[in-house]
Amino acid sequence: MDKNALITGASRGIGRAIAIEFARAGYDLTLCCIKNIEALEVLAGDLEDTYKVKCRAYQADVSKPEAVRDLFAKIDPPSVLINNAGISYVGLVTDMSDEDWKNTIDTNLSSVFYMCRAAIPHMLSEFSGKIINVSSVWGESGASMEVAYSASKGGLDAFTRSLAKELAPSGISVNAVACGLIDTDMNSRLSDEELAEVVSDIPADRIGKPAEVASVILSLAESTNYLTGQVIKVDGGWI
């Protein structure tokens, strides 16, 4: 298959770092985001100019099945699918609205189902492909005040392991990267005191960088398809 990666949630943070890492490695890219299309288009242009790869930017709410169908009608089928789009909700579960719950689950988990369902047929025809999901250590351990987020990531881990077994006979690998505390906008809500408290529990004694997550994801994309069904922690030894 061609080196062609599709990355969701690519306009900032970990998704942006993944796009840069894959462009540097010579992959043509399809990038999508829900809101920051202007920033994503600038990134796509910069990557094309710098690394001489094909890079296209699309605005799509991948939590909606119809939006995913529309996206795949416009693009070349990917050889690598990276499901990175995600949101968090911080607050008591008793204060959470139906809409907040549904939006978190749909964005973090249902979107992965919609994207995989659309990407897998071409991978099956090629007897090749890589699916990599961006998860969180909270999917295993759970986080107080982040029940919906933790539930969505726990579901994503189970989805990863199950789909890997389903697709392994067809030469397609499915893995996840469970991130610890990474320096992204999602974690910018933490005060300096809160950040210091968390870092004190991380053996690496620092927060992670998006580029470090991106490097692990690239290694999974270029690994043997015998490596499948794994949820790999990138957390500095935290959990």
Mean pLDDT of 149-163: 98
Q: Phi/psi at 60 (nearest 5 deg)? A: -155, 135
| Cα 119 from Cα 136, distance rounded (Å) | 23
Residue 153 has pLDDT above 90, yes or no: yes
> What pLDDT, on a 0 to 100 scale, did the predictor assign at position 9?
97
Residue 1 has pLDDT above 70, yes or no: no
Mean pLDDT of 186-211: 90
Mean pLDDT of 149-154: 98
Answer whether 208's CB lies under 8 Å from 234's CB: yes
What confidence category does residue 2 fall into, taking pLDDT thresholds of 50, 70 and 90? confident
| Catalytic residue annotation | 149
Mean pLDDT of 132-154: 97
Residue 239 has pLDDT above 90, yes or no: no
Report CA dihedral (133, 35, 105, 218) to the nearest 10 degrees: 10
Residue 166 has pLDDT above 90, yes or no: yes
pLDDT tens column, 48-105:
999 999 999 999 999 999 999 999 999 999 999 999 999 999 999 999 999 999 999 9
Lowest-confidence segment of 35-39, 114-118, 191-195, 221-225 by average pLDDT = 191-195
Helix H segments across the chain?
13-24, 37-51, 65-74, 98-105, 111-126, 138-141, 147-167, 192-199, 210-221
DSSP code for 197: H
Helices 13-24 and 37-51 pack at an angle, to 10 degrees, of: 20
Residue 190 has pLDDT above 90, yes or no: no
Helices 65-74 and 111-126 pack at an angle, to 10 degrees, of: 40
Residue 186 has pLDDT above 80, yes or no: no
What three-state secondary structure class fits 205?
Answer: coil
| CATH number at 4-234 | 3.40.50.720
